[in-house]
């Protein structure tokens, strides 16, 4: 007999900065959850196949211990949006719950998590007739038009990304307001009741501690022969350095072909591509990746303050089994 719909386990969503131990906690919760837990990835770069050295995917060992979803699902040159992820995440969560398991959502892309919990900013519908009038307009002219009416959006959209430029212009055409202003309104709105009735768990670290962990992780990505055993047990370090992986993927034409591909902008990959093209040294790429990752962690901390009803845990002291039990009793 299938589980009672009213008694389906609540999803657990794990929040925290990059390099903060979220993947390890997710597996521990999944193993201890009644009916079994399954991990749902919420990382915009871990969705890409072949990008392993620089995305801190869970190790093969962790992925063998419990099922993981939404990792390694698209090619690096494929466009994959937050909407694409949300559609898949909703379906995976429903399937896990229907089977009586506990979905455990974990990842560092806070926009994914906000969309999961609060829904997406959809904007107005499409105007196909108006879109047809843009068909013959060169992309650079469309981008210049966007820059004149919505400089914020234009600064975030590559001139070659015709699809996003067209959508931004369309929103302005239909509403008379810049898409960036509408997105900020969605971004700043107080959280409504969370979708999925999710239970939020946050991992708290001091800035000094998380920066140390970030530096250690980036060093392992660039110099895998120096990886510490504790780190190797939780983060995918397969022996190939990040610069070598980037070179191989470029040679295989999996990376770097499409200037607008999101994978090119992944922290570490962007810097290594620049080094490969000769615009910086390998050592500079290493240092700039550390800086970019620490900056990303700072942005995450700002984002995390926007989430309500979070149970925060002191991660620096470690998470004991009693804490795991207390979390699971609430779902």
Sort residue 21 into left (φ over 0), alpha (ψ -120 to 50) or beta.
left
Structure confidence by residue, pLDDT tens digits, 123-161:
778 889 999 999 889 989 999 999 999 999 899 887 878
Burial of 48 (0-12, 13-18, 19+ CB in 10 A): buried
List C-alpha distances in Å: 250 to 93, 223, 253, 273, 284.
35, 20, 5, 9, 20
For residue 330, the model assigns a pLDDT of: 80
Report the percent of the chain where pLDDT is more than 90. Answer: 65
Q: Where are the domains of the chain?
A: 5-120+190-329, 128-188
Q: What is the CATH number of domain 5-120+190-329?
A: 3.40.50.300
Can you tell me the mean pLDDT for 199-209?
96
Average pLDDT over the chain reads: 89
Higher per-residue confidence, 207 vs 164: 207
Q: Residue 249 corresponds to which tokens in the numbers above?
A: 């993927």
pTM score, two decimals?
0.82
Q: Residue 88 corresponds to which tokens in the numbers above?
A: 């898949």
For tokens 């009213």, the residue is 6
Of all helices (H) and strands (E), which one includes residue 149? helix 139-149
Compute how many other C-beta atoms are within 10 angstroms of the C-beta atom of residue 16: 25
Sign of CA dihedral 276, 278, 281, 284: negative
Q: Residue 293 corresponds to which tokens in the numbers above?
A: 């990752």
Q: Is the pLDDT of residue 269 over 90?
A: yes
Q: What is the CATH number of domain 128-188?
A: 1.10.20.140
Structure confidence by residue, pLDDT tens digits, 73-89:
999 999 898 889 999 99
Start-to-end CA distance of the chain, whole Å, equals 21
């Amino acid at each position: 007999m299938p589980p009672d719909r009213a008694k389906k386990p609540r999803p657990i969503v794990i929040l925290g900065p990059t390099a903060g131990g979220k993947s390890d906690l997710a597996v521990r919760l999944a193993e201890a959850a009644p009916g079994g837990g399954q991990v749902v990835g919420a990382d915009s770069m871990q969705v890409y196949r072949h990008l392993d050295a620089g995305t801190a995917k869970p190790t093969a060992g962790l992925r063998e211990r419990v099922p993981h979803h939404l990792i390694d699902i698209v090619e690096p040159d494929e466009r994959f949006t937050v909407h694409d992820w949300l559609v898949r995440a909703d379906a995976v969560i429903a399937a896990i719950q229907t089977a009586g398991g506990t979905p455990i959502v974990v990842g560092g892309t806070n926009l994914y998590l906000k969309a999961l919990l609060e829904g997406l900013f959809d904007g107005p519908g499409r105007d196909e007739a108006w879109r047809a009038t843009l068909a013959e307009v060169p992309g650079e002219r469309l981008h210049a038009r966007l820059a004149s009416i919505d400089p914020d959006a234009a600064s975030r959209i590559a001139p070659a990304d015709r699809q996003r430029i067209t959508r931004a212009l369309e929103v302005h055409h239909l509403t008379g307001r810049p898409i960036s202003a509408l997105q900020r309104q969605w971004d700043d709105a107080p959280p409504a009741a969370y979708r999925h009735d999710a239970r939020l768990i946050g991992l708290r670290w001091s800035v000094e501690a998380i920066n140390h962990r970030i530096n250690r992780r980036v060093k392992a990505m660039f110099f895998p022969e120096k990886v510490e055993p504790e780190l190797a047990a939780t983060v995918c370090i397969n022996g190939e350095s990040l610069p070598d992986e980037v070179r191989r993927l470029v040679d295989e034409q999996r990376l770097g072909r499409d200037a607008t591909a999101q994978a090119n902008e992944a922290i570490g990959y962007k810097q290594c591509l620049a080094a490969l093209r000769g615009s910086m040294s390998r050592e500079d790429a290493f240092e700039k990746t550390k800086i970019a990752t620490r900056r990303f962690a700072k942005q995450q901390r700002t984002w995390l303050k926007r989430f309500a009803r979070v149970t925060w845990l002191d991660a620096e002291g470690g998470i004991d089994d009693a804490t795991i039990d207390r979390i699971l009793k609430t779902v």
